[in-house]
Structure 1
Amino acid sequence: MVAVGACPFPTVLFSPLSVGKLNSNQISIVTPRLAVSADQILVSTGESLSAVEKKKEKKVLEKKEKRRINGWNEYLEQSKELIKPDGGPPRWFSPLECASHLDNSPLLLFLPGIDGVGLGLISHHQKLGRIFDIWCLHIPVADRTSFTDIVKIVERTVKSEYQRSPNRPIYLVGESLGACVALAVAALNPDIDLVLILANPATSFSRSNLQLLTPLLEALPDPLSPGLPNILRTMAGESLRRMLDNVVQGLPLQNTTKELVKDLTTFSLSLPVLADILPKETLEWKLQMLKSASAYAQSRLYAIKAQTLILCSGNDQLLPSHQEGERLLNLLPKSKCELRKFDDSGHFLFLEGSVDLVTIIKGTSYYRRGKYHDYASDFIPPTPDEARKIIESNSLFNLVASAVMLSTLEDGTIVKGLAGIPLEGPVLFVGYHMLLGLEKIPLVSRIFLERNILIRGIAHPMMFMRSNTGKMPEISSYDNFRIMGAVPVAPANFFKLFSSKAHMLLYPGGMREALHRKGEEYKLFWPEQSEFVRMAARFGAKIVPFGAVGEDDLGQVVFDYDDLVKIPYFRTEIESLTSEVTQLRGDVGGEVANQQVHMPLILPKVPGRFYYYFGKPFETKGRKQELRDKEKAHEFYLQVKSEVERCIAYLKLKRESDPYRSIGPRLLYQVTHGFESEVPTFEI
């Protein structure tokens, strides 16, 4: 069985926490939102919220999520309290807004960058706090703990928490300097289940612009250096830029230094607080620490076995993060390492409003509460904001497709819209995979928007595995599918989704239908096996057959698999691609056997329209024993297949009478009535 995406070319207070030299009585509140550590780590004992309070809390949080948070403003505002001198060593704190998380949530340790404040995830605390137990490391401004001692602090915490919960992974989220700490801890503890999330790691320090800060600081006039924080407080924007431009005149790599200054002065309004976070002496100390941290982590990369996610910015003026991400991807274990690029982002990735760490973790399938990721129990449904962004990213396609949706009521009446779709699961949608499998985009979008139903696609494993040769599409191109709940096709995943009463989407024809040959439009290529029927009957699921037509109005296959294999070069490429893909039907022969991975040549057409027809649901409730019989199950299977074919035939006939089948009349109607209006179609 192969399914969605089979085509490989898709478009309360927290307990005080402890570390270091603090004694058990040292508990300090540094800001109304932060509780800072004591020596023993305790479990939160906050009372559970009532259903009404939880609903109210959820609405408030969702409202906050919809606002575009200025990460820098929030970071600086909270930093004012946290950077006040207290004479203490590095310690952990837990943000108070992260007070309610899932049962058995994994521990997330945030390791800050050169600033050391520990508020780098401030824009993400609320969402992260729902699925993680979050502790952030705070390094006071005047603290001079060495890099190796900071590693020991983190390592002690990791070992202690792992001993308490050996079956729960520990997440180390580090940015720049913190990423080096995470790598060092992972190298020293290869037998502990760690998940590393590294943002612009400073392992590239020897090749970075940050090295230029040392001669820049040394070049500052002596009378200026002691009063640097006070001077910075009075300067902003162009005045600061002119002063620094004069300082860097004559320095080596002058142009590069100016780019560094440009990046730093972007946040000129934040200079008073930044001057307190990184006064000259602290900055010099941190630069030396970065140098030793980079060398330490670099020399131990070979020992790292942890699952790792690298996040790199393409517009980082401080570190060559883009290149470093690629380099680390090749040095760390290939089966456990992933890379995500943010081409337009700068160095301070987590403070940018366009970056959502929870969404990234979900899209990469990096969230787990046990030793392995479970696509059912570890799945976190998309928030309304996440779903909206994904659907909006396909808005142009949905506009062009202008999908017509028909469904069937319990009494057999065909109606426009999705009123016939069962609301309660488990439900299995079974249909035809059109050319390139693009029909799933309007289908999933409309059902989610109109019926508030999340469809869990049963997808080809290639959507969850990174290409070894780089010839397959980047795995990041499938992140949105995973956020929306796609799972690899496997009996265990079928069982778990049926058990959770999910709505699932299955294309038995899989890649063979999505990459069909010339003249094979709307022809089903289903295997003989009827496993999904018996699995559905085991849980009393409803099977909804559906037909979809219209995609072949968008393009015409002019050079298919049969043509490609006749050319030696393309035949070799097809064999190479196919060898990378997990084989799903090794025990099946004929047309539905394992499909050779290829991309047919498709000639675009003037866009037509998409049509969907959901037939009357097949009930399996109460037929568990009956459908255990292979012959009866196969007969039921053929009935479902026949209904899909009937739905396709019905749509092919009815679309001929649609006055808005062509894109011209549709656009004219939308210009006249508004692009949000629904375009009429044929009479039922």
Structure 2
Amino acid sequence: MAATGGCVAFSTVVRSCQVTPSPSSGNLRPNPSLRQFAVSSESQFTKTVRKSETKRTTSFGENGIFKEKHKEEAREGVTKEKQKNPYELGLERNESDEDRSRKSLKDYFEESKDLIRSEGGGGGGPPRWFSPLDCGSRLDDSPLLLYLPGIDGVGLGLIMHHQSLGEIFDIWCLHIPVKDRTSFIDLVKLVEQTVRSENCHSPNRPIYLVGESLGACLALAVAVRNPDIDLSLILANPGTSFEKSQLQPLIHLLGIIPVQYQLILSYMLSSMTGDPLRMAMDKVMKGLPLQQTAEGLLKDVAAMSSYVYVLANILPEETLLWKLKMLKSASAFANSRLHAVKAQTLLLTSGRDQLLPSEDEGKRLRRALPKCEIRRFNDNGHYLFLEDGVDLVTVIKGASFYRRGKCHDYVFDYIPPTPSEIKNICESNRLFMRATSPVMLSTLEDGKIVKGLAGIPSEGPVLFIGYHMLLGYELVPMVMNLLLERNILMRGMAHPMMFTRKKEGYLPELSSFDTYRTMGAVPVSGTNLYKLLSSKAHVLLYPGGLREACHRKGEQYKLIWPEQSEFVRMAARFGAKIVPFGVAGEDDFGEIVFDYDDQMKIPFLKDFIKSLSEEADTVRTGLNSEVNQDIHSPVVLPKFPGRFYYYFGKPIETEGRMSELRDKDNAHELYMQVKSEVEKCLAFLQEKRESDPYRNLLARLAYQSTHGFDSEVPTFEL
């Protein structure tokens, strides 16, 4: 691990050893236990100057035999042959396997108990780093993630996320022993020492500081003192709001009213375990059997009594008082220096935080920190990372907050969705998918039209060029069906407003587009198209863009493309297959009654549209074309739902045509051919859907009532 830091690594193993450090010598002695730990023979606070070549990390196998690793081996963590390909990660795992491997709040308390027991029978020793062994192998060149705990100090706050985080990060967690009385400033120096050491060793590798409550203050303090180091902060319910919280008066009460200690523990426990009844109702709403939910609720309630005992060991009265005083000083320290924080920051705030006013604090910090985004969890409590339904990796991916270099790369830093993420996205769009009941048609190599997506090329690069339906309604069914039926992830080229803002204003929050980013959307640009095609991806591009998606009245199914060709030469450069496609059905769902032209006639709406457009980057800078479009939303009158129809035409080959298509005329000719094919697809769908007996929603509901609501509804004959 770090040249300046020791480590303790743990993993759940049935037969193993517990490691107990000797307070006087720092040596290790094995004792029987049910868990496995790997503990450094040196503590980070015992020595500050060491020779890196003498570093050793001591670990125990299942047979209790010592195994030693050189410091450089511990730093690397995994061998090259076990490192993962980012485009393979997550797509091969089964969702049920993910659920089984994910740990729970019970594991947090069980492993906290063992970790405290390993401290030498009383919680001694200085603060130290440990790395969870259950993280497994990770991506090549993974960034370093340093977890900074809250007032519990155990360092297991990410236990539910170790496996998923460990696949894309090198994780170290800070453990502060129960009896340790290191001041906040000294903790800052400890983390700072590790940050500087790791930055010196790998200057191009970003370092993530993930802190909650007290740990968030610690992360902010380290960022202030190290503005020249590449840091990314993830702050969950920061303790910077301590002065406004219900915890602040407890400092005085603890010394006066002893019984108050038990009440505080019970209050903190309720914040950790959440509302059992609410969680049980959530499980019922998700379709879990009532008996199974009731049994789980009874187990949770029964386990709470044992949790109180463990929490009392984690935070005995004198330790709790020390931590509260530390949180007060940490909050004051961080708040006085917020103006100096330059690091990229992702704020995570809970709407039901019973310990801190995190929701309001998030708004304040967002205004105070220059490079800050926020994600709100309205139904979660203070201990966000210990609650079911919160996946930190999904949050990081959705916010485009993961990077392995100096700057985030939307193509090469992308991590594909996991089975559980795909399932959650499908569930959230289930009603829309049923309402639209999409019909998918594709064209085989011999020109035959077939139902389904068999005609889509399996191997990339593939460039999908098509018609952008009103407000982009066609995206979800198309992307999800392609992924579920063919296991093909379509990387969409999207408007920049989904990724960045020039300034804050009236546009929807960036969190509104997290799902698009999770599914692989990237800002539309020639550079990103080049990277995607060079990586043999399946790419979705709409030449009509926002202008086509927000068209005027009477412009449905009209291609509004630029005059000059934009994608032909790039496709030919990589020999990409161009798949033209059309989509019909927008007029079955809504009718535009108040479009852009109508809105621009009203002065205050015209000013509003202009202000919206100034908040985000434009796509085609400098082009004075009707394809350019101010950001706005047409007013649409909903209709009784009809059906969506998709038709993917025969792929157009560009391989071997690079020299030919360098000529402008030849490139333009192919461009017009693609446009013509898209128009033919649209005309085909508009004609054929007239003979679909199940075009109307009521007809489809009647069919599904007799054949099952998950059954595929027939359509017209080909």
1:443 is the counterpart of 2:478: yes
- Pick from 650, 670, 686 the counterpart of residue 616 of structure 1: 650
1:153 alignment partner, one of 180, 186, 190? 190
List per-residue Cα deviations over 1:177-214 (Å, max 9, x = no partner): 00000000000000100000000000000000111333
How far off is 1:470 after superposition?
Answer: 3.0
Compute the displacement of 1:377 (Å): 1.3
Q: 1 CA distance for matches of 2:265 and 2:184? A: 28
1:73 to 106, 130, 134: 106
Give the partner amino acid of 1:487. V
**Structure 2: tracts of 5 or more residues without a match:** 9-20, 43-54, 56-70, 271-300
Partners of 2:562 and 2:625 within 8 A in 1: no
| 8 Å contact from structure 1 (residues 151, 181) kept in 2 | yes
Q: Are residues 1:35 and 2:72 paired?
A: no
Q: How has the CA–CA distance of structure 1 residues 564 and 58 changed in structure 2, closer, same or farther, with 3 Å as cutoff? A: closer
The amino acid that maps onto 2:350 is S
CA shift at 1:59, angstroms? 7.1
Preserved contact between residue 7 and residue 131 of structure 2 (Cα < 8 Å): no
Name the structure 2 match of 1:506.
541
1:294 to 326, 331, 344: 331
Q: Map 1:476-515 to 2 at 5 A.
A: 476-515=511-550
Give the equivalent residue in structure 2 for 1:630: 664
Counterparts of 2:553 and 2:89 in 1: how far apart (Å)?
56
Instruction: Choose which of 627, 639, 647 in structure 2 pairs with 1:605.
Output: 639
CA distance in 1 between partners of 2:177 and 2:355 (Å): 23
Provide the residue aligned with 1:553 in structure 2. Answer: 588
CA distance in 1, matches of 2:89, 2:192: 39
Contact 1:513 1:524 in 2 (8 A): yes
Q: How does 1:233-632 map to 2 (within 5 A)?
A: 267-333=304-370, 336-466=371-501, 468-592=503-627, 594-632=628-666
Shift of 1:34: 3.8
Letter in 2 for 1:99: G
| Distance of 1:597 and 1:675 partners within structure 2 | 38
Q: Is the 8 A contact 1:17 1:38 kept in 2?
A: no
Is the contact between residue 242 and residue 327 of structure 2 (CA under 8 Å) also seen in structure 1? Answer: yes
Deviations 1:295-337 (A, max 9, x none): 001111111100000000000000000011110000001xx21
| Separation in structure 1 between the aligned mates of residue 80 and residue 595 of structure 2, nearest angstrom | 60
Which structure is richer in relative contact order (CA contacts within 8 A, separation 6 or more)?
1
Partner of 2:128: 91
**CA offsets per residue over residues 362-418 of structure 1, 9 Å max, x none?**
000010000001111111111111111112211111100000010000000000111
- Which among 232, 257, 281 is matched to residue 195 of structure 1? 232
Q: Contact (CA 8 Å) 2:191, 2:222: kept in 1 or not? A: yes
Change over 3 Å in CA distance of 1:14–1:177 after alignment to 2: closer
Moved more, 154-163 or 60-69: 60-69
CA separation of 1:568 and 1:34: change in aligned 2, threshold 3 A: farther
**Matched residues in 2 for 1:56 and 1:630: separation?**
40
What percentage of residue pairs aligned between the two structures are identical?
63
Closer/same/farther in 2, CA of residues 232 and 543 from structure 1, 3 Å limit: closer
Question: Is the aligned partner of 1:220 residue 2:250?
Answer: no
Q: Evaluate the alpha carbon distance shift between residue 46 and residue 636 of structure 1 in structure 2; reply closer, same or farther with a 3 A threshold.
A: closer
Q: Deviations over 1:620-669 (max 9, x none)?
A: 01111111111101000000000000000000000000010111101111
Counterpart Cα distance in 2 of 1:652 and 1:287? 67
**1:63 offset after TM fit, Å?**
3.9
Deviation at 1:81, TM superposition (A): 1.1
Structure 1 pair 600–59 and aligned structure 2 pair: CA distance change class (3 A): closer
Q: Which secondary structure state, in structure 2, belongs to the residue aligned with residue 591 of structure 1?
A: coil
Deviates more, 1:99-108 or 1:456-465: 99-108
**Equivalent residues of 1:545, 1:640 under 8 A apart:** yes
Q: Residue in 2 aligned with 1:3?
A: none
Residues 38, 637 of structure 1: alpha-carbon distance in 2 compared, 3 angstrom cutoff: farther
- TM-score scaled by length of structure 1: 0.88
Instruction: Describe the SS at the equivalent of 1:585.
Output: coil
C-alpha spacing 1:591/1:124, structure 2 compared with 1 (3 Å)? same
Letter in 2 for 1:174: G
Query: Deviation digits for residues 231-282 of structure 1, max 9, x if unmatched?
Result: 989xx99xxxxxxxxxxxxxxxxxxxxxxxxxx9994441010000001000
Structure 1 pair 51/348, CA: closer, same or farther in 2 (3 Å)? closer
CA gap of 1:232–1:496, structure 2 versus 1, over 3 A, is closer
Say if 1:302 and 1:26 are closer, same or farther in 2 by CA, change over 3 A. farther
Change (3 A) 1:468 1:67: farther
Aligned counterpart in structure 1 of residue 701 of structure 2, from 667, 670, 681? 667
Between 1:99-108 and 1:275-284, the stretch displaced more is 99-108
Aligned length: 636
Q: Is the 8 A contact 1:61 1:126 kept in 2?
A: no
Distance 1:630 1:25, change over 3 A: farther
- After TM superposition, the structure 1 stretch with the greater mean CA deviation from structure 2, 580-589 or 124-133, is 580-589
Structure 1 counterpart SS, 2:249: helix
Distance 2:304 2:686 in 1: 59
**CA positional deviation for 1:578:** 1.1
Cα 1:511/1:457, change in 2 over 3 Å: same
Give the drift of 1:218.
Answer: 3.5
CA distance in 1, matches of 2:345, 2:250: 30
Q: 1:225 to 1:633 in 2, by over 3 A?
A: closer
In structure 2, the partner of 1:677 is 711
**Equivalent-residue separation in structure 2 for 1:283 and 1:645 (angstroms):** 69
Give the CA deviation at 1:590. Answer: 3.1
| Aligned CA distance change for structure 1 residues 51 and 81 (closer, same or farther; 3 Å) | closer
In structure 2, C-alpha distance between the alignment counterparts of 1:590 and 1:133, rounded to whole Å: 48
Q: Name the CA distance, whole Å, in 1 between partners of 2:420 and 2:252.
A: 46
Residue 515 of structure 1: how far off its partner (Å): 0.6
SS of the aligned residue for 2:234 comes to strand
1:18 to 6, 27, 30: 6
Which string of whole-angstrom CA distances, capped at 9 and with x for unpartnered residues, describes residues 403-453 of structure 1? Answer: 001000000000011110110000011100011111011000100000000
Measured in 1, the distance between the counterparts of 2:669 and 2:93 equals 52
Change (3 A) 1:408 1:76: same
The CA deviation string for residues 483-532 of structure 1, in whole angstroms up to 9 with x for no partner, is: 00000011111111001100010110011111111111100000122231
Q: Is the 8 A contact 1:512 1:525 kept in 2?
A: yes
Letter in 1 for 2:334: A
Distance 1:38 1:161, change over 3 A: farther
3-state SS, counterpart of residue 171 of structure 1: strand
- After TM superposition, give the deviation of residue 19 of structure 1 in Å: 7.5
Change (3 A) 1:394 1:59: closer
User: Match for residue 246 of structure 1?
Assistant: none
Q: Residue 145 of structure 2 aligns with which residue?
A: 108
How far apart are 1:216 and its partner, in Å? 4.1
For 1:500 and 1:473, the matched residues in 2 are separated by: 31
Q: Distance in 2 between matches of 1:579 and 1:356?
A: 34
Structure 1 residues 16, 145: CA separation in 2 closer, same or farther (over 3 Å shift)? Answer: closer
2: CA distance between counterparts of 1:301 and 1:110?
A: 20
TM-score under structure 2 length normalisation: 0.84
Shift of 1:17: 5.0
- Give the distance between the partners of 2:308 and 2:594, measured in 1 at CA: 60
SS, match of residue 504 in structure 1: strand
